[in-house]
Structure 1
């Protein structure tokens, strides 16, 4: 770059922002392209296991007219969400955003057919297939969960017992079948747009939270909200962090109790959610709640661990047993660490979209609360990635973290329809070209 151009960049921060954004989005595109090219080479060489379209656990396909309804809805969302985010009262904007996220999620899923919402949960590897073992005696099932782990379905033995117990409890209320299970997952997962926005409002201000909402609704990660149980984890984690922010900002002991109860369940939903605690920790550091709030939060966070330990499930034993079954099973443990430690980041790029990639440099160039939230999510993802436990399938596993990275898109000045259209366009392209198992 010429000396004169460097001088102009030095004196015009906005120009530097655009330059860094262009560099980031170029790197985003190259990383994703490289991951798919390298994945195809590995697959053809017989070095990539299971996956037809690495780094995604998916297969290539082509949808045509089936994607048209979702495409029309995406166009309406790109046009309408920015003015709604600016003008609606906050208490109205939140449920409207939730509804928009649900409709967009369901419309995308239905392009795969009328049974697309519950079909993933009908697979013999999923949680519902393992409910028979719980129905006879839930207390006995929990007490012997670790020692009988090898006999359960893939997703049951790959997680702590709470996700299975949640679906069992849903059945006990009379809402039986995978249709109701998928409804719970979609409703909880899409509600995360509200939880994340509430957190952003308390930590970084309402204008930023309003700018973020359209991007949260249209983020490509929406494709994996219907219907992977990880979307349920996303919702629980988002509301745990949101209640932490409310408690810290307003001194609410009720919110602190709710936050603690939800935070305590996270390690019992998925072992991979432990790094997600970086987000409520960032909120606590930024907002500095009082001692009473912290005391209530910590005491309530101990409820779930005490309940499960009393019931006979010892969390460290569960981790060890799950790791053992992971190592001896065929599948993800055999995938290349060297490939996926990089390719996972490319999949993260798909989850958050080009608008987020463009905005990230601007987020970290400023010492603002937004950088804390995005940075905490990225720190958690880095820990999971380097650990080598998540070798592939991160398009669903990383959803509880990736949604927080999308907050970076709030850096775009509204209405930012160009970037919103890019997000929706990428989402539609993935749905049309990729057949996911979830």
Structure 2
């Protein structure tokens, strides 16, 4: 099994790398501080940021809650004991423990705001999906007429979140209701339980692609993800879980798994329009598969195609929905939110979701990828190798801990520059954040606990100083 070393080390490398890490950390702090300061100024001037605690979609409200001691207990356990245990524990037991710890961490952060306000009532506002569940009496008719109700300022227009997404999320909550699991508490619990599965899916993906040691190193960062604040509770936690599971199934051996992975990734297209960008992550996973690459592609395409065909035959055409959503987007706050602020403040929100370890981890990942990048460049110029074959070979050589986070960066950059994600990206980009954190495999093991402490402090600061909104 191929296991990637975090970094090549030389006699004078560690000091230089630590200095670089601190510089990047300083840049991160400065960026977040600037985004907060400019946000305060713009809000004071009445600019339509529609985010009282910009760059996060939240309001300033320092508070404590029942979840405070629980979050401290979970964080202490993971940092003090879990880090070492993750390196030596049996694989199955490790994944079970990581999942349970992630659920505990997510619930603890939610309960800082209280059981009702922080958990059971998160999905009950008029803008949320649950508002529409009682109004869906015929699922077939709902799918067939979904696009006609996307635009605002018309009778029977969908509520904000339902209109802003394909019918997949509403279909999930309606489905839960139809099988007797309706109501806001079950819906909130589903977000947490599905969202926490990223602590299983991401490591499984890395292990299947030959990087088990890296998977073990990344796992504590996934468990103590600051973005768990928005996993508990928003439907974007479900989106992240579905995407991660689809990519994991695409990575493991077997064409049946690839087909099911394709089904999940195809369904992800109907959870959020922005998840079309997951396609680049899927391509990266396929490129890294050690064998059966092209049969797996065909199996995954068949699975995804089945989902697309089902929704299309039911009367919902994805492209029609996308174009109408763009129009609906500019009927609301997006028309007022200034692109010039959010295009860089979004990055600050991303850092608060992913944590301060992200910048140094990506810097080290970029440094480690220089050699494979040079290989790509050489092979593109090689006259006796087809460029596509050379490209795939070089990608496989780069390894998952380099390729997956860098591809996730590409997806986030495209989403940011599109102008269709102005604010609220701390939850919207959750499906990409968990893959960005794969870069944590390149952080030095000796400093892992320090970086995890920074992740925890970020999560606790956000959850205790701000009142976040789903």
* Aligned-CA RMSD value: 1.6
- Give the secondary-structure state (helix, strand or coil) at the position aligned to 1:268: coil
Equivalent residue, structure 2, for 1:5: none
Mapping 1:293-372, distance limit 5 Å: 293-329=296-332, 331-367=333-369, 368-369=398-399, 370-372=401-403
Residue 378 of structure 2: aligned partner? none
- CA separation of 1:65/1:239 partners in 2, compared to 1, >3 Å: closer, same or farther? closer
2:174 to 168, 174, 189: 168
Q: Does 1:144 align with 2:145?
A: yes
Residue 263 of structure 2 aligns with which residue? 261
Match of 2:25 in 1: 25
Residues 80-122 of structure 1 deviation map (CA, whole Å, 9 limit, x = unaligned): 2112202210011111100000011001111111222121101
1:290 matches 2:321: no
Counterpart in 1 of 2:94?
93
The correspondence for 2:121, drawn from 119, 122, 142, is 119
| Cα separation, 2, equivalents of 1:192 and 1:336 | 33
Superposed, 1:383-398 pairs within 5 Å as 383-398=414-429
- Secondary structure at the residue paired with 2:319? helix
What is the deviation of 1:350? 1.0
Q: Distance in 2 between matches of 1:419 and 1:88?
A: 21
Q: Which residue of 1 aligns with 2:201?
A: 195
How far is 1:65 from its partner?
A: 5.9
- Give the SS at the match of 1:54: coil
Residue 220 of structure 1, CA deviation: 0.8
Q: 1-side partners of 2:452 and 2:49: how far apart? A: 35
Equivalent residue of 2:243, what SS? Answer: helix
Give the structure 2 partner of residue 216 of structure 1: 222
2:459 matched to which residue of 1? Answer: 427
Name the SS for the 1:120 alignment partner: coil
* TM-score for the superposition, normalised by structure 2: 0.87
Query: Residues 274, 33 of structure 1: CA spacing in aligned structure 2 closer, same or farther, 3 A cutoff?
Result: same
The question of whether the paired residues in 2 share the 8 Å contact of 1:58 and 1:434 is answered with yes
Contact residue 21 and residue 360 of structure 1 kept, 8 A: no
Contact 2:65 2:113 in 1 (8 A): no
- Give the Cα separation in 1 of the matches to 2:431 and 2:312: 25
Question: Corresponding residue for 1:75?
Answer: 76
The answer for the alignment partner of 1:3 in structure 2 is: none
In 1, the alpha carbon distance for the partners of 2:65 and 2:170 equals 37
- Whole-Å separation in 2 of the counterparts to 1:371 and 1:186: 28
Distance 1:76 1:291, change over 3 A: closer
Count matched residues.
424
What does 1:28-107 correspond to in 2, within 5 Å?
28-64=28-64, 66=66, 67-107=68-108
CA offsets 1:107-141 (integer angstroms, 9 cap, x no match) = 1111111222121101111001011232x111111
- Residue 70 (structure 1) shift: 1.9
Gaps of 5+ in 1: 1-8
The answer to whether the 8 Å contact 1:85/1:93 transfers is yes
**Judging changes above 3 Å, is the alpha-carbon distance between structure 1 residues 408 and 290 closer, same or farther for their aligned structure 2 residues?**
closer
2:160 to 154, 161, 170: 154
Runs of 4+ with >6 A deviation: none
Provide TM-score, normalisation by structure 1.
Answer: 0.93
Q: By how many angstroms is 1:361 displaced?
A: 1.2
Tell me if the contact between 2:360 and 2:443 (Cα under 8 Å) persists in the aligned partners: no
Q: Does the 8 Å CA contact 1:10/1:16 hold for their aligned counterparts?
A: no
**Partner Cα distance (1:215, 1:183) in 2:** 22
**Contact 1:197–1:209 at 8 Å: present in 2 too?**
yes
Counterpart of 2:413 in 1: which secondary structure? Answer: helix
SS in 2 for 1:59: strand
Change (3 A) 1:146 1:433: same
Structure 1 CA distance, aligned partners of 2:335 and 2:415?
A: 14
Answer whether contact 2:57 2:469 (CA < 8 A) is retained: yes
Q: Cα–Cα, structure 1 residues 360 and 290, in superposed 2: closer, same or farther, change >3 Å?
A: closer
Question: SS in structure 1 opposite 2:59?
Answer: strand
Map 1:377-416 to 2 at 5 A: 377-414=408-445, 416=448
**Residue 241 (structure 1) aligns with:** 247
1:10: Cα distance to partner? 9.3
**Whole-Å Cα distance in 2 between the matches of residues 91 and 10 of structure 1?**
35
Change in Cα spacing, 1:323 to 1:93, as seen in structure 2 (3 Å) is same
Equivalents in 1 of 2:324, 2:144: separation in Å? 14
- 8 Å Cα contact 1:17/1:361 also seen in 2: no
CA distance in 1, matches of 2:19, 2:323: 47
**Are the counterparts in 2 of residues 146 and 313 from structure 1 also a CA contact under 8 Å?**
yes
1:272 to 263, 267, 274: 274
